[in-house]
Amino acid sequence: MSYDIAQENKEILARYKDLITTSYRILDEDQNKLIRKAFDMALDAHKNQRRKSGEPYIYHPIEVAKIVAKEIGLGATSIACALLHDVIEDSEYTYEDIQKAFGDKIAYIVNSLTKISVMNHQNISVQSENYRKLLLTLSDDFRVILIKIADRLHNMRTLGSMPLEKQKKIAAETSYIYAPLAHRLGFYSIKSELEDLSLKFINPEIYFDIEKKLADAKEIREQYLKEISEAIRTHLEEEDFEFQIKARAKAISSIYRKMLKQSVSFEEVYDNYAIRIIYTCEDKDEKFIAWKIYSIITSLFHSNPSRMRDWISQPRSTGYESLHLTILGPDKKWIEVQIRSERMNEIAEKGVAAHYKYKEDFRKNTDDSNFEQWIRQIREVLENQQDFSTSELLDNIKLNLYQKEVFVFTPKGEIKILPKGSTALDFAFSVHSDLGLRCLGAKVNGKLVPISHQLKNGDQIEILSSKNQRPKQDWLEFVNTSKARNKIKAVLNTQKNAHTEEGKEIMLRKLRHAKIPSSEKDIHKLQKYLGYDNVQEMYLAFREGKIPNTSLRRFIENKNIFTTFLSKFKTGLPKPIIDLQQKNKTSDLIVFGKNEEKLPYKMAKCCTVVPGDPIFGFLTINEGIKIHHDACVNAMNLRAQYAHRVMPAKWADSAEFKNRVKIVIEGLDRIGLLNDVSQIISRGMGINIISMNFSADDGIFFGEINLEVHNKPQLDETIQQLKQTPNVLKVRRI
């Protein structure tokens, strides 16, 4: 393929000029020289490289640097690192070269980014270890993780040039790790874009359907939001406020989450629109003006009290501050309104990076104690993870990262922020690990409660403890923070190990007395004979006296009989007969991989598929290949954590295929409705009805129908015909 090098060089220069447009106004001469020097090295390092799309590779670091500079708002060091972030990995330049040219700090950041990228190219089962190392950088330099998020954002924006399976893997990883991380660091715009782009590649059918519906309604929506904005604007101008109003539709991924959570269609999501009011004021007047604007809006429109969120009086641990309310517009449509100052808005848009601007010393400023508390929690998880698998580690981190929060108080009135659903025991561990391990109960607002009591906003907690208390196994059933869970598991494991060693000594002593060999092989035979899943369980049973001497005598007798039996029959057992006809019949429906191989498989129970549905195969440890729908609730986690076990799959021959699918139907009750529905399904479409369950209440009916269908077009046509039936208002596949 030939390339227009002269034109590409012009484009490279244009992109670089766009990058420095902002920086030249706000940075000094030395800082701008640093950026130019980094650009020159990156240009040389990537001069002969191209991306999958065929574009010059240098486009990518320039675009990442733009995101770092303009969307995240970092300075010269970060911009230089963004330009250099792939230099060590993809060129002849070394860590020492960058260190010599730019110094220790930039060399450290670029090298950290290189390590993360290298791990991304390795087996994806180490993804949680990758994530751990990513988070470890929080304690060293925030800029590593911020540049990595920028890198992932640009990769997602250009993901269309990658192969289909690679798209799904990267999108799943993004949705599983990077979007929640961006959210937790306060980058709400970036988080929304990452989620939208992930949905676009993971479930394109849903994404483009919602996108089309938003586009179809754009003109009406804009006019509607304009009318409401003007009504608000008029009243705010009367108060001489300096402000701007931004109106928009909600993110596609946000709308889809609501559709799933509420089990409703796009049309039934009631707050697809949002208005943001950003005002300018002195710092001392921020809260006063926010509540004044709130009172003006609630005097103009009815508001939903249950949807009101006050993150100004008590900001989120990320530093996010805003007033949220949901109002009822002129034609009975719900609209979310966000009220925030310019400072609050910048922190909402640029998260951690905005703290560098507003706080001269981010680490030492007490105003950022909430964020510092979160960083301490993450470091505790990372430092206390030796006894846990990497998947457990990822779950522990996600447990603290992504849950909503409750704000509670110590007896002295100090605020503690815990994940929603936390218990009195979680609170005890948050104060001190030793207090958690000795916790007997608690007083919440002066009332005695058990340690499993769930906490609510505003609760004041006093922990009751005893030096004789010890952690118990059932504590793991109700704790909700990773710190508490990790500490309890560690103590229980220590206790269990000690008990296991005691049990092993008791067992060995009994084996010696019974003159039974105690080799590893013999011990495993004894374990299987006694029916324990592993030797540790058997050791504990010996310690607790659950295995009498008579069981050992029977083991000796059976062992002697079995040995005699084997000596008579030297030939192996006959191999099981495989029903080849059934195997071939199953394997003909779906094929796997680029070579379209026919392999045996089973349908996953977590989702239902019919021919025409997008599918993939997942290689399980014990049950072979399982077929999942691309939109399966487990698909994202499987692709993100076990991409090496995901197999591309497609339908080959569906003539003999049948699968059960459930549909839900709702509407207004009338005589003959049930008959009409069954006639459409059975006679009109020739589909077998496995079961029907209909109920009616006050003229509203609800039905669940289990069908046996051959393919997706047959199912889609059936749903379409049912929707056209009089009095039927909604039909959807579960």
Contact 294, 325 (CB under 8 A): yes
Compute the C-alpha angle 387/389/392, nearest 5°.
105
Sheet holding 461-465, edge to edge: 447-449, 439-444, 461-465
Residue in 661, 649, 664, 662 with CA at minimum distance from that of residue 711: 661
Residue in 305, 237, 228, 208 with CA at minimum distance from that of residue 273: 228
Distance separating alpha carbons of residues 289 and 291, to the nearest angstrom: 5
Tokens coding 83: 């330009």
Sequence-ordered list of residues with C-beta below 8 angstroms from that of 263, at least 6 positions apart, any chain: none
Distance separating alpha carbons of residues 153 and 194, to the nearest angstrom: 6
Map residue 341 onto helix, strand or coil.
Answer: strand
Residue in 299, 303, 329, 327 with CA at minimum distance from that of residue 227: 329
Residue in 667, 683, 686 with CA at minimum distance from that of residue 675: 683
Sequence-ordered list of residues with C-beta below 8 angstroms from that of 311, at least 6 positions apart, any chain: 320, 321, 322, 323, 324
Type of residue numbered 556: I
At 301, give phi and psi (nearest 5°).
-135, 150
First-to-final CA distance of the chain: 47
Q: How would you class 497 by CB atoms within 10 Å of its CB: exposed for 0-12, middle for 13-18, buried for 19 or more?
A: exposed
Q: Does the active-site annotation cover 89?
A: yes
Q: How far is CA 173 from CA 130, 180, 556, in A?
A: 11, 11, 54
**Whose structure tokens read 């207090």?**
435
Q: Which of 8, 11, 55, 89 is flagged as catalytic?
A: 89
Map residue 416 onto helix, strand or coil.
Answer: strand
Structural element, H or E, at residue 281: none
DSSP symbol at 70:
I
Compute the C-alpha angle 427/430/434, nearest 5°.
100
Distance separating alpha carbons of residues 430 and 480, to the nearest angstrom: 11
Sequence-ordered list of residues with C-beta below 8 angstroms from that of 679, at least 6 positions apart, any chain: none
Q: Does the active-site annotation cover 90?
A: yes
Would you tell me how many other CB atoms lie within 10 Å of the CB of residue 198?
Answer: 25
Residue in 203, 144, 202, 145 with CA at minimum distance from that of residue 178: 145
- Cα atoms in the Cβ-side hemisphere of radius 13 Å centred on 184: 26
Contact 83, 65 (CB under 8 A): yes
Alpha helices, DSSP H only, in 531-622? 535-543, 549-568, 580-587
* Beta-bridge partner residues of 664: 704, 732
Distance separating alpha carbons of residues 310 and 433, to the nearest angstrom: 32
Distance separating alpha carbons of residues 162 and 665, to the nearest angstrom: 39
Residue 111 C-alpha from the chain's centroid? 27
Residue 684 C-alpha from the chain's centroid? 43
Pairing mode, strands 242-249 and 273-280: antiparallel
Q: How would you class 225 by CB atoms within 10 Å of its CB: exposed for 0-12, middle for 13-18, buried for 19 or more?
A: buried
Q: How many residues does the chain have?
A: 734
Q: Which of 8, 11, 55, 90 is flagged as catalytic?
A: 90
Tokens coding 695: 């109920």
Give the catalytic positions in this structure: 89-90
